[in-house]
Amino acid sequence: MKQYFTGFITAVFFTASIFLFIGAKKRTIENLTVQKITVVDKAGNKVGEIGHKKNDSYFWLKSRKNKKPTISLNTENKGSITVNNGSIVVKNSVGRAVVSFQSNKYLGGEISINKKNGSKSVLLESYGQGNGRILCYNHREKETLFAGTNDINSGQIKTYNGLSAETVFIGTDNNDAGLVSVNNNNGKLRALIGVDEADKGSMEIIKK
């Protein structure tokens, strides 16, 4: 009799556990407080994580084939001004950062587009007092193009050769008139097109 009673109690608890489990799966959780959530694939491999450690909240994801995170988001709050105070980084299949969105040292926004090896290619940012600019780089990470607003709040475009010498300037002069200058391969001025003091067009050829 005791064996039957024990078996009956066991069956009751087992059945109740099943119903509680089923009910729990259908239950809506209104608030979940954790310090870290780890995401794994079907094989149990870690492919993502969201959490907080020290003064940094972070989030990252990756595929099973990649050793390093493909997409990551992190924020730092140390009570002081820091460079890259929050960033979103997109990496390629070999773990190189190819696109990043972040704050820069001027406390403005910055978008960086890199080559497949992670070196600089294009930079779009707010700098100085809030002026915008686009910078382009060659495969040696040397600047080849500047397009943006200068220190006198006027637009300008500058090109550079492979030796980092400025070759062409298109923009606005100190009198708010148009200006075009052409330099030789060493960056020395050789031609100038602009507007003179009499408000007339002018062109100057500078010989060696």
Cα 42–Cα 43–Cα 44 angle in degrees, nearest 5:
90
Q: Does the reported pTM lie above 0.75?
A: no
- Centre a 10 Å sphere on the Cβ of residue 116 and count the other Cβ atoms it contains: 11
Same fold, 32-131 and 142-208: yes
pLDDT in tens, 87-124: 788 888 888 889 988 888 888 889 999 999 999 999 99
Question: Residues 149-154: contacts with CB within 8 Å, 24+ apart?
Answer: none
Specify the range with the lowest mean pLDDT, choosing from 49-53, 179-183, 189-193: 49-53
pLDDT of residue 85: 44
Q: Domain spans of the chain? A: 32-131, 142-208
Q: Which CATH code fits 142-208?
A: 3.90.930.1
pLDDT of residue 158: 97
Q: Which CATH architecture has domain 32-131?
A: Alpha-Beta Complex (3.90)
What's the DSSP call for residue 39? E
Whole-angstrom Cα distance, residue 140 to residue 120? 9
pLDDT of residue 2: 45
pLDDT of residue 192: 94
